[in-house]
Amino acid sequence: MSSKAGCAAVLALAMGVAAFTIAQSATAPTGRAVLRLDPTSTTVAFRLPGSLHDTHGTFHLKEGTVEIDTATSEAEGLVVVDASSGATGNSSRDARMRDVVLESERFPDIRFRPARVVGTLGADDSFRATVEGTFTLHGTDHSMTSAIEGRLDGERVTATCRFSVPYVEWGLKDPSVLFLTVGKEVEIEVTAAGDLTWKSGRLERGASL
């Protein structure tokens, strides 16, 4: 049941991806923009299919800042999720996830570093983008690409990212026990929100990034 461990990692990535895409997709073809995620308005949720029931839970964002060069589509920054914050409503399951699967005392953070983004901001202030970056879970880096969609409202950006992660293939422990089996992939959905500021450049709708 503590397959949430795998989820935690995935969540971090999703979070970072979401944060990164939001900022990049909303920027102009040239300029530098900085997106700061709001931990109180960002949700990292996961669902792990099981033989008896599905497990649902969440993790908390610690911090997230992404800077994008819209002239080159390159990005830098860091998004951090608290590995010990996983919660599913079952204390024993959550403890096993933290202590046995994620080993959160040794690896307290799940991180995502964005590297590149390509997308377009539409005339209606909605955007779609693809983000590439490095997701670090349990001390191991994983390259990842994900699609993001969202909306710009002034300097406030919101975005959603959904994807699946093969946590067992990534080396995390399979939490299945006897007849209670769980899926080998965890489904992640991140809803992120943050504020966009410009170091240089300006916003141009309809621009390809």
pLDDT per residue of the chain (209 residues) written in tens, 0 to 9: 344 444 444 444 445 555 555 554 544 445 778 889 999 999 888 888 777 778 889 999 999 888 888 778 888 889 999 989 989 898 988 888 888 888 889 889 988 888 987 777 777 888 888 888 898 888 889 888 888 888 888 888 888 888 777 777 777 777 676 556 777 777 888 888 999 888 765 544 444 44
- Give residue 27's pLDDT: 44
Q: How many residues does the chain have?
A: 209
Is the dihedral angle over the CA atoms 176, 99, 88, 142 positive or is it negative? Answer: negative
- Give residue 38's pLDDT: 93
- Give residue 152's pLDDT: 83
Rounded distance between C-alpha atoms, residue 46 and residue 57, angstroms: 5
pTM of this prediction? 0.78
Domains of the chain: 4-200 (2.40.128.110)
Indicate the helix (H) or strand (E) that contains 10: helix 4-25
CB contact at 8 A, 207 and 28 = yes
Residue 209, both tokens: 């990034």
Place of tokens 């240089």: 200
- Give residue 20's pLDDT: 52
Burial classification of residue 113, based on how many CB atoms lie within 10 Å of its CB (0-12 exposed, 13-18 middle, 19 or more buried): middle
- Give residue 58's pLDDT: 92
- Give residue 29's pLDDT: 44
- Give residue 82's pLDDT: 92
- Give residue 39's pLDDT: 92
Tell me the longest C-alpha to C-alpha distance in the chain: 58
